[in-house]
Amino acid sequence: MNTHNTHVTASPDAAKIGSSFHADSVRHIAINGWQAGMGAVGLGVYTNRLLQGLARHLNSTALSATVLAPTAQMPNWAPMRVEPIPFKHLRHPVLDVMAWNHRLLSDRRLYEKDTVFFSPGALWGVRAPRGMAIVYHDCIYRHFPVYFGRLGYRRMLARLTERYLHRAQVVFTESHHARDDIAEWTGVAPEKFVVIPAWLPPEFTPEAAALRVAEVRARYNLPPRYWLYIGGYDVRKNVEFLIRAYAKARTAAPCPPLALCGRIPQRTAPTLCDVAGARRETQIEPSALLEPGFIEDADLPALYAGSELLIFPSLMEGYGLTPLEAMGVGCPAIVADNSSLREVVRDAEYRFDTASSDRLTDMLISAAGNPLHVNPSFRREDHDEKSAMHRYLETFTKLGSA
């Protein structure tokens, strides 16, 4: 796949993966369940959708799977089993991750001959199963070192997880931009990567989403016409830029109100967007920017479907799940012209430069009078869950004990 193609596909050298292992020797997948407990953050959403998708398609193979988790409070992923591993939290997120990684990688089940170990997120440890596949989403933290903080724990953990990638037989990622960036920063061999773009779960269709639009609008007190931002408020999300462009557009055209969804930070910090500061700076009227708060996962399809437009100004994404979800239910998405967003939104006329707000302002003025149609290049078949899950499962079967 290149930046103009989001077909579910592997890297050109993916056929070499597992060449040093006995083909078809794998009978079981042991899965790291840590990321599944991360809730509504991107990694948690991705992991839960991945495990649900694998569960839906596991019966089409001879494989079985067990999710090893630090708690028994996990969703139902039948026919996959969930087995809790006793684990004591250390009350610090970085130390918790390190302790869990050590505990998990000490589990003898990961080293059985017919088992492949799969982690839907980064990890690190002293030991490494011989058949191991890791999802590594991006190296965004390398471009925004403010995420490391002042004490050095996160920087150290990032370097350890980067080194540990070399011990995996497969590194999954979601875009060619992410693959190239990860390879550059970590030095992982290109032939280890398999690129599988994000997929749309069954509920993200225009028909299914339309059934609940009125209900979801009422629940979050949204008007009949609104534009939408959703996707978090850490610094790279660039929400202040969006507010400035939107405020300028409102002086020239009758723009619908903009719904800023999610939990908006109430404090200022180097790692966070300053939404309140942007409101004060632009002196935008309070009714122009809606704050419906946290959106339940089940309400997301209808939230997108009820919106005239999704605006996504992020400075860097490993993939860009938000615009994909919007397009999946028929909501046009305009995005920043950078990173993997060029792979998700392939129409140049639906992208804008973040060096200046002029382009985005002009797009918003135009959309106020002539609402956009869903992105012309969007093709649902490029984001089919069945195809994506079969690629994961196909790759697992190539791994085993040497």
φ/ψ bin of 140: left (φ > 0), alpha (ψ from -120 to 50), beta (otherwise): alpha
Amino acid identity, position 315: L
Assess contact for 195 and 179: CB atoms under 8 A: yes
Mean pLDDT (the chain) is 90
pLDDT at 89: 83
Handedness of CA 60, 62, 67, 72 (dihedral sign): positive
Q: Are residues 84 and 124 in the same domain?
A: yes
Indicate if the pLDDT at residue 291 is higher than 80: yes
Assess contact for 254 and 368: CB atoms under 8 A: yes
Q: Name every residue whose Cβ is closer than 8 Å to that of residue 69 and which is 6 or more positions away in sequence.
A: 33, 34, 36, 37, 82, 83, 84, 85
Higher pLDDT among residues 212 and 36, named by residue: 212
User: Sorting pLDDT into bands at 50, 70 and 90, what band is 75?
Assistant: confident
| Lowest mean per-residue pLDDT among 93-97, 137-141, 263-267, 328-332 | 93-97
Q: Are residues 247 and 184 in the same domain?
A: no
Q: Are residues 391 and 370 in the same domain?
A: no
Q: Are residues 52 and 145 in the same domain?
A: yes
Residue 84, in any domain of the structure: yes
Residue 264, in any domain of the structure: yes
With CA atoms as reference, report the closest residue to 216 among 117, 292, 325.
Answer: 292
Q: How far apart are CA 111 and CA 401, in angstroms?
A: 9
Handedness of CA 390, 391, 394, 396 (dihedral sign): negative
Look up the domain containing 247 and give its range.
206-380
Indicate if the pLDDT at residue 13 is higher than 70: no
Domain count, the chain: 2
Residue 7, in any domain of the structure: no
Residue 2, in any domain of the structure: no
Q: Are residues 248 and 124 in the same domain?
A: no
3-state secondary structure of 293: strand
Residue % of the chain over a pLDDT of 70: 93
With CA atoms as reference, report the closest residue to 288 among 301, 274, 275.
Answer: 275
Half-sphere exposure for 128 (CA within 13 Å, toward CB): 17
Q: Are residues 20 and 34 in the same domain?
A: yes
User: Sorting pLDDT into bands at 50, 70 and 90, what band is 12?
Assistant: very low
pLDDT at 76: 87
Please give the structure tokens belonging to residue 183.
């390879």
